Chain A
Amino acid sequence: MIKVEHLSKQFGELTVLREVNAEIKKGEVISIIGPSGTGKSTFLRCLNLLEMPSGGRIFIDGTDILDKSADVPKLRQKMGMVFQSFNLFAHLTALENLTIGPVKLLGRSKEQAGKKAMELLKMVGLAEKAGSFPDELSGGQKQRVAIARCLAMEPEIILFDEPTSALDPTMVSEVLAVIRRLAKEGMTMAVVTHEMDFARDVSNRVFYMDEGIIYEEGPPQQIFENPQKEKTRVFINRVRSLTYHIRNQNYDLYAINGEIEHFCEKHVLPKTTRNKALLLVEELLAIFSAGQVTRQFEIDLTLSYSEKRDSLELVAESAGDYFNPFEENTLPDQLGTTIIKNLSENMEYQRVSDRNRFSMTVKKQ
């Protein structure tokens, strides 16, 4: 459905895109990853002509959109775009944000557009917020409205530019869930993202951008598990997260420590950060083992380092009954929880699909 040939883009002296060749087929979900400044956003913006390419050709369903005779507004309508910064109309309600485009640009009646808009808001889980203004919504909710607004224009493909980067870590999953659902329903999408787990399990193909080209492309298994080219390998190694599944109350703490230390070394994290990560994990595990109310002992730990934010995030999920040690009087003493609170930031507890989920950022200072 989209074919890009020899696409190039310069900003003055700076060559951002040298020679991009790519094809996106109907129903595909493409993740675009790569270091900062390698032109991922520029590439998306060229696709829907928010930036004018310096050279090359872009075909949409066989039509060259850079041809002078091309009906650009019409072609652009086929492509929705969702940005990092939501870009909702602040003076319009959520519902009106969704209806304005279809009424003004697609010639829909107010009723038609309103009905469709409500369906879409429901789809993203925000029907009850139809009358709310953007500043009454959380970041995650705003982004879901932005996605619904995009869908209201009935696009054939949606381009996402880091849709979760401006969100609090706790709101990332609700937005990713909506994108996952669209993927399941067969929507064609290209997503620039730093969420590697998401890229790994949602996309059909991954474009790794570097040096002004799509430096390596392939199925997620190849890009994440077995990248073929040097720069891809370096990048993947740097962002990859560590996951540890614990299925036994007699877990091997030192084996887990070893993995964490190795992970921290790989990301060249300071010794204090490493010690904090070790201690957070030890305390969490101790609390879980002490407070384990059901027979099953199942904990998944994920440690991920974001180079972009220079932050180390820890997520611990446990299966079983509701258990939140950070509520009063759940534990014999507060030592473990005090340590955790002091060594972490943005601690959140969530009960998600019958699991207890704790997420936190390891404090830097």
Chain B
Amino acid sequence: MSLPDPAQSPELAQSPELAQSPELAQSPELAGAADPTGGDLVLSRRIAALLRSGTVVAAVLFTVGAVLLPVHEAAARWTLAAGCVVLLLLPVVRLVLMTDHFVRIRTGWLAAASLTVLALVVAGALTGLLLGSG
């Protein structure tokens, strides 16, 4: 089956139904055909869902930590630290999602870019070990 060319069919390129179909979500070829930017709209919605749920979890942890602070400081600090970890992991998981997406649509240089950013973030985090020992 030949895939429609979005350059000839802008309606197809901007069809929300296609963007939300499970087949489209799982098929990089279809995603790339329907969306001129290679299914990035599907990726955008996945990242949006990740950020939404992660933010809610972090908010709950920070709220519990704030309530525990005057009552049980040790438990509060662990809970707050967990909230911080959730927040810090959100951009990292987002990069992993993007890398996976770019690999699946066979855009190698963008996958390499997202991996580079991931490496730089990890390198930044590891400098914390130096800061802590300094």
A in complex with B: no
Q: Which residues of B contact A (CB under 8 A)?
A: none
Q: Which residues of A contact B (CB under 8 A)?
A: none
